[in-house]
Chain A
């Protein structure tokens, strides 16, 4: 066999390539994204005493996500007149790429991590700061009033929650002394899960990451009842699927990061393999965040900005003081 072909076959069947493409990479992200769509609708329905998706398969409508994808693919593609086609299509595509890149940084099991960077935690948070830029571009490119208002709201929302998000993760870094995500998990292996000393930080992290993901109660940019789906309003059939995808991928990524930072990642008694522990913890966090959606009303923009800069900022500084006291007080750290 000629040499480039052997090299290509070696590349395709190497573990690294399988990790990137199949698991925990692109194909598993796509399948889990469709699964979480169904999961959210079923969970919200049960909380509201409804039944939820039922008919797309014999087992409680579990294939609803895939049915939605097939339906959306057959719809007509109408791009508004005067819209900027390049940014209209490229913004959700770039958001998908960013979501997939976020999942590459997280340790799923000992040794199963696509990118073991020494600065894993700030890299994750830095890539996350790119997403409101894309929402602004998507909202502007639709050449319509409601999407532009949604895009600007995403920008204002970013100024409110960005600093408490980074500061609440800072508490974890102060205690563990490393920015590497695998290092943080290994610290928790020796010294117990970080959710106990950092309970305040964990609460802050969940609140600010819900704000970053633009989920209820912080879903001002895509407020369904106010501005008609906000920045997603003008997106036709197949592109709508492209736009909803990053929301669920970011949910998955943030839940995975929360379980890595505070719940010990893949750690657990050896009766269950580490990867199952990881998914159990991630699904618990995803259920908690989805329950926020059914429970709380939407926060107004001025309320959000005020609370972000007074309450959340003060609490995150208190969290840093608590972390400092733990670092100098407990002698084994």
Chain B
């Protein structure tokens, strides 16, 4: 049944990603983005990365989607996009996208790289936490400093507006 689960999750993720960009109303787009993140969390659970999946739900859907919704509601309704015109940038984009999809297609027809069925020590939660603290402890501290810098930056931006 793994194939059916993967197919359903992949379809939901890609369909809501397209919906997030093409929906007329930005609130629908933000909600569709939330469903994309939920599909991604499902794919992470399928890949035995359960803690990362929980982290994705808590951070992306719990915080980023809320921030986006808040901004969309405060910025107000915007004009719609103009109809798609054939300009140089769009052609370049279409070229790039078809290149990427072509790479993906050629890789699919080659050897399939079936992975090992059980993850063993590679996905162990204890192993993840000991690696994070022992080998990557210093980057973790730097990450907290970057978080503090981002919070101070966002607060400064909000304060600068009020002083004006």
Chain B nearest Cβ from A29, distance in angstroms: 21
Which chain B positions have C-beta within 8 A of A87? 27, 31
Which of A118, A126, A155, A179 is the one whose CB lies under 8 Å from B57? A126
Tally of contact residues, A, Cβ under 8 A: 22
* Beta-carbon contact of B69 and A129 below 8 Å: no
Flag the segment in B11-19, B60-68, B91-99 that touches A.
B60-68
Contact of B46 with A by CB under 8 A: no
* Beta-carbon contact of B62 and A126 below 8 Å: yes
* Beta-carbon contact of B125 and A118 below 8 Å: yes
Given contacts A136-B70, A140-B73, contact A130 B61 (CB under 8 A): yes
Chain B nearest Cβ from A90, distance in angstroms: 9
Among B57, B61, B62, the one with the most A-chain Cβ atoms within 10 Å of its Cβ is: B62
Which of A122, A126, A133, A148 is the one whose CB lies under 8 Å from B66? A133
CA–CA, A138 to B61, complex, Å? Answer: 16
Which chain B positions have C-beta within 8 A of A255? none
Chain B nearest Cβ from A183, distance in angstroms: 11
Which chain B positions have C-beta within 8 A of A117? 50
Shortest Cβ distance from A139 into B: residue: B73
Contact of B47 with A by CB under 8 A: no
Which chain B positions have C-beta within 8 A of A172? none
Contact of B54 with A by CB under 8 A: yes
Interface string of A145-183 (1 = CB under 8 A from B): 000100000010010000000000000000000010000
Contact of A132 with B by CB under 8 A: yes
Q: Which of B19-50 contact A (CB under 8 A)?
A: 27-28, 31, 34, 50
* Beta-carbon contact of B50 and A129 below 8 Å: no
* Beta-carbon contact of B70 and A126 below 8 Å: no
Chain B nearest Cβ from A2, distance in angstroms: 21
Which chain A positions have C-beta within 8 A of B50? 117-119, 123
* Beta-carbon contact of B58 and A137 below 8 Å: no
CA–CA, A118 to B126, complex, Å? Answer: 11
Which of B31, B55, B125 is the one whose CB lies under 8 Å from A137? B31
CA–CA, A158 to B63, complex, Å? Answer: 10
Please classify the interface of chain A as helix (H, G, I), strand (E, B), loop, or mixed, using the class held by over half of its residues: helix
Interface string of A110-123 (1 = CB under 8 A from B): 00000001110011
CA–CA, A140 to B70, complex, Å? Answer: 10
* Beta-carbon contact of A155 and B66 below 8 Å: yes
* Beta-carbon contact of A179 and B66 below 8 Å: no
Given contacts A122-B54, A126-B54, A130-B57, contact A140 B65 (CB under 8 A): no
Given contacts A133-B61, A136-B70, contact A84 B27 (CB under 8 A): yes
Shortest Cβ distance from A126 into B: residue: B58
* Beta-carbon contact of B51 and A122 below 8 Å: yes
Given contacts A84-B27, A140-B73, A155-B70, contact A179 B125 (CB under 8 A): yes
Shortest Cβ distance from B56 into A: residue: A126
Shortest Cβ distance from A122 into B: residue: B54
CA–CA, A117 to B125, complex, Å? Answer: 12
* Beta-carbon contact of B73 and A125 below 8 Å: no
CA–CA, A132 to B67, complex, Å? Answer: 12
Given contacts A87-B27, A119-B125, A136-B70, contact A129 B51 (CB under 8 A): no
Interface string of A273-299 (1 = CB under 8 A from B): 000000000000000000000000000
* Beta-carbon contact of A132 and B66 below 8 Å: yes
CA–CA, A155 to B69, complex, Å? Answer: 11
* Beta-carbon contact of B27 and A127 below 8 Å: no
Q: Which of A57-91 contact B (CB under 8 A)?
A: 84, 86-87
Which of B27, B28, B62, B73 is the one whose CB lies under 8 Å from A129? B62
* Beta-carbon contact of B62 and A130 below 8 Å: yes
Which chain A positions have C-beta within 8 A of B34? 133
Which chain B positions have C-beta within 8 A of A119? 50-51, 54, 125
> Which are the 9 A-B pairs with shortest beta-carbon distances?
A129-B62, A126-B58, A126-B57, A122-B54, A119-B50, A126-B54, A133-B66, A123-B54, A119-B54
User: A-side interface residues toward B, CB under 8 Å?
Assistant: 84, 86-87, 117-119, 122-123, 125-127, 129-130, 132-133, 136-137, 140, 148, 155, 158, 179
Given contacts A119-B50, A136-B73, 19 further A-B pairs with CB under 8 A are A86-B28, A118-B50, A119-B125, A122-B51, A122-B55, A122-B58, A123-B54, A126-B54, A127-B57, A129-B57, A129-B61, A129-B62, A130-B61, A133-B62, A133-B65, A136-B66, A136-B69, A136-B70, A140-B69
10 contacts between A and B (CB under 8 A): A119-B54, A126-B55, A129-B61, A133-B61, A136-B66, A136-B70, A137-B27, A140-B69, A158-B66, A179-B125
